[in-house]
Amino acid sequence: MADVLPSEVRQWIARLQDPLGVNPPTIVKCKIVLDAIFATALNDQVVFLHPGKGVKAPPVATQPRRIITAEQYARIHASLPDDTMRLLVETDMESGLRWWN
């Protein structure tokens, strides 16, 4: 672990992107795991350098959120088949739960 340098982390990320074609969200998740491992090693004084510190993962494109209007919600709510489904949707909306694609 002590032999891993920031330049090698950058090369690892570049290899994930180019030859392997790994998508940016997956690379970010992999880097989070690597950073957690090295943070623990640094805290436990196994290593004295955190090679992931300052190394950037590729940016993840964000999709704009589609937020329904009050009128759209009322139409959806009214079209639900029964009280159980209406309660489920009300709970989702009021608690902040969202469905993601």
Domain parsing of the chain, residue ranges: 1-62, 63-101
The string of pLDDT tens digits covering residues 3-42 is 999 999 999 999 999 988 999 999 999 999 999 999 999 9
pLDDT digits (tens, 9 = 90+) for 46-64: 999 999 999 999 999 888 8
Query: Does the pLDDT value for residue 101 go beyond 60?
Result: no
- Concatenating the DSSP letter of every residue in 35-101 gives HHHHHHHHHTTS-S--TTTTPPPPPPPPPPPP---HHHHHHHHHHSSSHHHHHHHHHHHHHT-----
DSSP-derived secondary structure letter, 98: -
